Amino acid sequence: MKVTHSRWQELAWRALFAGLILLGILARLRQYLFNRALWLDEAMLALNIINRSFSGLLKPLGYDQGAPLGFLMALKLVVSLFGKSEYAFRLIPFLASCFALVLLYCWGRRLTGPLGLAFLLGVFTASYRLVSYAVEAKQYSSDMALTLALYLLAFHFFDSEPNQWDFVILAIGGSAALWFSHPVLFTLGGIGLVLLFKYFHTRDRQRLIYTLGTGLFWGTNFTILYFIQFRGLAKNYALTNFWAEYFMPMPPWSDWLWFKGTFSGLFHNPLGLAEPHNAILILFILGLAVLFHRHWQWSLTFIVSILLTLIASTIHKYPFGARMILFLMPGFALGIGEGIESVRKLFGRVKLPSMGWIVGVSLAGGLLFQPAAFGWENFAKPKKSEDIRPAMAFLAQNRKTGDVIYVYPGGVPAFRFYAAHYGFKEADFIAGTGYDVPFQHYLDEIDRFIGQKRVWVLFSHLFENKGIDEKAAFLDHLDQIGNKKKIFIIPGTSVYLYLYDLTPR
């Protein structure tokens, strides 16, 4: 049987897509098996998991943490079965991120052309930020996987005539997703509002009633979750203060620069694309406009999801930025990919298809070059940022009876998580306190040790306090009141250990 030229092209594209998915899984597997130490946010969530029973996870979490109830229970189950290792804590996010790549292909192929789909998969394969977030012991990967699964489920309602059992599946599936992901609330809101508009516009009374029933079922589950968990999160002012820069200003016209900075900034974090962000934004807007013309129902779902997330950010309930909006990134990447497709097709309309492919591939390759370069660099030599383990091992080997060990606040959760492994008890170290407090607060904590001959100071996850480099300011003060005896630093870990003699000179 003779294979036609178009058939060869189709096979080549499929091979490329399969290759990108496999590379994406391999990149995630590399990060997972590298087994870097838990960083601050992971350690804070991990301490809640190991120090609480299943029922204890129903109460507000310590360390100002928030995670979906279903995700917490699943993580607790995995850790109970496989132990308290980094592998156990990251297993669910790793598997969710790999599954998300497959869902990404199944979803993207229904909306964009081959070049747009290649760009979409390329971003999630190459971007160091996306790969890094994918294997953190947090809920970001499952947020994205569940959003993609809901998109695919919604296609059945967008492109066909569903029956009552289809609505039952949507009601149950959406409600289950709410228990495992906070931001799917915005995705469900988008799907529900679009279906209401569709059936109202077509005067399909029966399906309109089914949609209202589905929304009521979702709302009931959300209400239960609100009283169990969301109400406590909404009152956590430490969380709202931390994410303050990602809350939309009110009224919106009071700070137009916030929108420009936020929307162009997300192409860098979390999408991982380099400059020029303004050009990327133009491609995204072009792509979304074309998608809306071709498939208005999904496009409107995505737009409504963005708007609902922005509204939540306005009332300080959900931040619009960084890793918290990872669930929206497939839509943004798809918009850019479709923008590239549209540029390519534009040349075809003026009878220059070859030039269109050259320009389209150049655009996609240019945007993906730096993420791919960083991705390869991180694949070849993964980063050990905030790896506190070598410093704790050195401290365990070199401490003496009577030594004072002070742990900077940003390093306390990770130190506590690994303490037992290195033979430390809670009474063996002094945990620094405070966040976003006057720097004098920390100096007062240090001054309590004046007169001690051996004072260890360990820094990790350093903050900038109102423009002050806290580590430099700490060390400057310690150099004034004592003598530096030892320094232990592993390059690339951003963890620093010092031994000082604070007896009078």
DSSP string, 154-204: HHHHHHS---HHHHHHHHHHHHHHHHH-STHHHHHHHHHHHHHHHHHHTT-
Q: Answer whether residue 4 shows pLDDT above 70.
A: no
Q: Is the pLDDT of residue 3 over 60?
A: no
- Among candidate residues 134, 142, 136, 168, the one with its CA nearest the CA of residue 70: 142
Q: pTM for the whole thing? A: 0.94
pLDDT single digits (tens) 124-174: 999 998 999 999 999 999 999 999 999 999 999 999 899 999 999 999 999
CA atoms within 13 A on the CB side of 380: 6
Largest Cα–Cα separation, the chain: 91
Share of the chain above pLDDT 70, in %: 98
Structure tokens at 33: 């098996």
Q: What is the CA radius of gyration of the chain?
A: 25
Domains and CATH numbers, the chain: 13-380 (no CATH), 389-501 (3.30.1710)
Residue 326 has pLDDT above 70, yes or no: yes
Determine contact, residues 183/309, Cβ cutoff 8 Å.
yes
- Per residue in 211-264, pLDDT (tens digit) is 999 999 999 999 999 888 877 776 777 777 778 889 999 888 888 889 988 888
What is the distance between the alpha carbons of residues 27 and 2, in angstroms, rounded to a whole number?
Answer: 37
Residue 5, pLDDT score = 56
CB 225 within 8 Å of CB 69: yes
Q: How confident is the model over 179-187, as a mean pLDDT?
A: 96
The pLDDT, as a whole number, for residue 263 is 87
- pLDDT for 103: 98
Instruction: Retrieve residue 457's tokens.
Output: 């100071």
Tell me what pLDDT residue 1 has: 44
The pLDDT value given to residue 466: 63
Which amino acid type is present at position 63? Y
Query: What is the arithmetic mean of pLDDT over 266-270?
Result: 90
Separation of alpha carbons 18 and 199, rounded Å: 37
Alpha-carbon gap, residue 108 to 331, rounded angstroms:
9
Nearest to 244 by CA among 139, 308, 327, 322: 322
Mean pLDDT of 318-334: 94
Q: What is the pLDDT of residue 21?
A: 97
Structure confidence by residue, pLDDT tens digits, 281-302:
999 999 999 999 999 999 999 9
Report residue 14's pLDDT band, with 50, 70 and 90 as the boundaries.
very high
Residue ranges of E strands in 375-454: 404-407, 430-431
329-356 mean pLDDT: 92
Q: Which amino acid is at 67?
A: A
Give residue-wise pLDDT tens across range 406-449. Answer: 999 999 999 999 999 999 999 999 999 887 788 888 889 999 99
Mean pLDDT of the region 369-396: 92
Q: For 383-403, what is each residue's pLDDT tens digit?
A: 888 999 999 999 999 999 999
Residue 279 has pLDDT above 60, yes or no: yes
Is the link from the previous residue into 276 a cis peptide, with omega within 30 of 0? yes
Share of the chain above pLDDT 90, in %: 75
Answer yes or no: is pLDDT of 49 > 90: yes
Residue 410 C-beta-side C-alpha neighbours within 13 Å: 18
Q: What is the pLDDT of residue 465?
A: 64
| β-bridge partners, 486 | 499
